[in-house]
Chains A and B, each alone.
Chain A
């Protein structure tokens, strides 16, 4: 297993499958009356959040606590970009306090990589989202959700997503979720198509292991999963598209469009969902939409990543096979 988790692109197929398999084991902990494992007892994990994200922080915190780790939450208010030294200063403070792992969320692309490679700190670094770069645990929880839905909970163990056709729709340009998912889904053998207006597709996308389409309706019938990306309303003022209405018409997912997807196909969203522009309430509330499962799966994935990176004691791990039978 690697020392840090900075980018989904750093994972091999076997490493990724191992994380998904471990998460499947971790998921069973959530079904127990006492949702706790002793695996990280005595270890200290710091959630270092330079950018607000209550959802992601709570998800990591729940994962850490279920593994019995001691948790420090460090929220650095305001932008570190305006005061460049704070990342280094904070890292050195944490190093002095002897933390065993750092989960970092940062508004600047590359900040977790810098933290992991600068020598400021020795602990493993887990990227919880950096700028428009990567959000690898999000990609892992998405892949986990797809594997459970498209392959099966138990049938999925040891499996990847070979041959599955996944479509990501929306603001690819500003999306770390899209970048991470393209990398990981490709590693897992899926065929990925990005759908967006040309203004929201990054220059240089031709090097990515995926297809690009501007036509959602053409892609939907061939999709096993459709992941809607968040489109921020302020993009409208920056002339990425003319109006909210036009965006919604061309790239929003409503009931009619969902009906064009194959019967088994699922709808995903990294949340939080803004109903209306990118996804209608009808779609969001349908049982094909996996948003709530994605949240639950996020905890399992983060438990798996922390467990594997911190080398938790093997004997502390849950063993689904003996438990179930």
Chain B
């Protein structure tokens, strides 16, 4: 049986409707649709969204399969309501050749939980010196459209300029991890009142902002588009806002944790809060929320960064940077953006599906919920309240700061091209 009828779902948060899935596509959207021959899912007023798309995921395969694999990472993604993820290039070996990106792409296809779109490295070995074969990665079976040295900043202005220019040939985009390396030498947390007190090396906001300012000007100069990863400061927001007002083709993302957590949490010296870019201040958090609401920041991206327990169960300075995020992203967005009245569910669909798919040119994802479209869908119960228990995560790693914290909402069903990958909150 390949027909599924989702009955009474609020599509993008609107009026309750029925959605009929036939095979891999949405067959009909309307009221009182016939359930004949179909498995029926009673949505009971839950929110139906297009399958979420994450433009910034670390899947760790190849090379760090103890942290995550494509299979475990895509299972985590499906649990979080995602149907497509873009996998960052900082693997071992680095995804800087057609061979590696094709391998990751194929592993994603085989996983069956979520489409994996590999991101190619901008420079060979993420070393910032020599352009990787961007065209070959684009022309490969993986069809790479997004290039990033994430984890490292493309620091050299000439290399950045060349990359921005070069990808114009095939409509690619360079996603920049904005971090001026000299200003962040020895940096361990946001530079400010808390770092001064804790004696941890400060990571100044200007180290992010100065790179963004340079890159939007470079993008303008060469007439290319640039995407800024994980904005974390109020100043970064101002620069992107200015660049957009000037007509520069820039897009930007924010992570769920930068919408919720502040550097005050670092007082615990608990490495679950150690992340790159670092958690900033309350003022930054509020500016990021506002920017996501007004569209200055285009999308939410998780920066899902799995690390094994040993890499976090140590002193702050020795701990790895990053936190897992795929399975909690939508809940954090609900809490920080929907329940605060800053976004409605249709806007959440834009920030977490339509816009990231558009920026990354993801085929078949981020499409409207209407007849004839691929059935990539996510059903969310916004009334659910629960305490986060990482023991139940599908990710191979558990490095979440939300353990024991109550977060709202739950993904009850995820469909990848008509096939349920999550049913009643559990992986299918």
Chain A residues within CB distance 8 Å of chain B:
9, 80-85, 87-88, 106-111, 113-115, 117-118, 130-134, 176, 179, 202-208
In the complex, A261→B316 CA distance in Å? 42
Which residues of A have CB within 8 Å of B204? 203
For B, the interface residue count at a CB cutoff of 8 angstroms equals: 26
Which residues of B have CB within 8 Å of A82? 318
In the complex, A87→B191 CA distance in Å? 26
Q: Which residue of the partner chain A has the closest CB to B319?
A: A84
Task: Verify B191–A108 contact, CB threshold 8 A.
Answer: no
Instruction: Assess whether B141 is interfacial by the CB under 8 Å rule.
Output: no
Instruction: Assess whether B311 is interfacial by the CB under 8 Å rule.
Output: yes
- Give 14 pairs: A residue, B residue, CB < 8 Å, sorted on A: A85-B310, A109-B316, A110-B315, A110-B316, A111-B315, A113-B269, A114-B269, A114-B314, A115-B315, A117-B268, A131-B200, A132-B201, A204-B197, A207-B197
In the complex, A272→B268 CA distance in Å? 32
Instruction: Assess whether B295 is interfacial by the CB under 8 Å rule.
Output: no
Chain B residues within CB distance 8 Å of chain A:
188, 191-202, 204, 268-270, 310-311, 313-319
Q: Which residue of the partner chain A has the closest CB to B191?
A: A203
Which residues of B have CB within 8 Å of A205? 196
> A1 to chain B: closest CB distance in Å?
22
Task: Verify B316–A88 contact, CB threshold 8 A.
Answer: no
Task: Verify B193–A206 contact, CB threshold 8 A.
Answer: yes
Which residues of A have CB within 8 Å of B270? 114
Task: Verify A208–B317 contact, CB threshold 8 A.
Answer: no
Partner among B198, B311, B319 whose Cβ is within 8 Å of the Cβ of A133: B198
> A8 to chain B: closest CB distance in Å?
12
Partner among A84, A113, A202, A208 whose Cβ is within 8 Å of the Cβ of B314: A84
In the complex, A107→B194 CA distance in Å? 19
> B337 to chain A: closest CB distance in Å?
29
Task: Verify B194–A204 contact, CB threshold 8 A.
Answer: yes
> B182 to chain A: closest CB distance in Å?
10
Which residues of B have CB within 8 Å of A130? 199
Task: Verify A108–B315 contact, CB threshold 8 A.
Answer: yes
Partner among A84, A134, A202, A208 whose Cβ is within 8 Å of the Cβ of B310: A84
In the A-B complex, the 10 residue pairs with the closest CB atoms:
A204-B196, A133-B199, A84-B318, A108-B317, A110-B269, A132-B199, A84-B314, A109-B199, A202-B196, A204-B193
Known: A85-B310, A114-B269, A206-B193. A179 touches B199 (CB 8 A): yes
Task: Verify A80–B318 contact, CB threshold 8 A.
Answer: yes
Task: Verify A109–B198 contact, CB threshold 8 A.
Answer: yes
In the complex, A130→B200 CA distance in Å? 10
In the complex, A118→B309 CA distance in Å? 13
Which residues of A have CB within 8 Å of B314? 84-85, 87-88, 114
Which residues of B have CB within 8 Å of A83? 318
> A83 to chain B: closest CB distance in Å?
8
In the complex, A167→B216 CA distance in Å? 46
Identify which of A109, A115, A179 gathers the most chain B CB atoms within 10 Å of its CB. Answer: A109
Task: Verify A202–B318 contact, CB threshold 8 A.
Answer: no
Which residues of B have CB within 8 Å of A117? 268-269
Q: Which residue of the partner chain B has the closest CB to A108?
A: B317
Q: Which residue of the partner chain A has the closest CB to B312?
A: A84
> B406 to chain A: closest CB distance in Å?
23
In the complex, A113→B318 CA distance in Å? 14
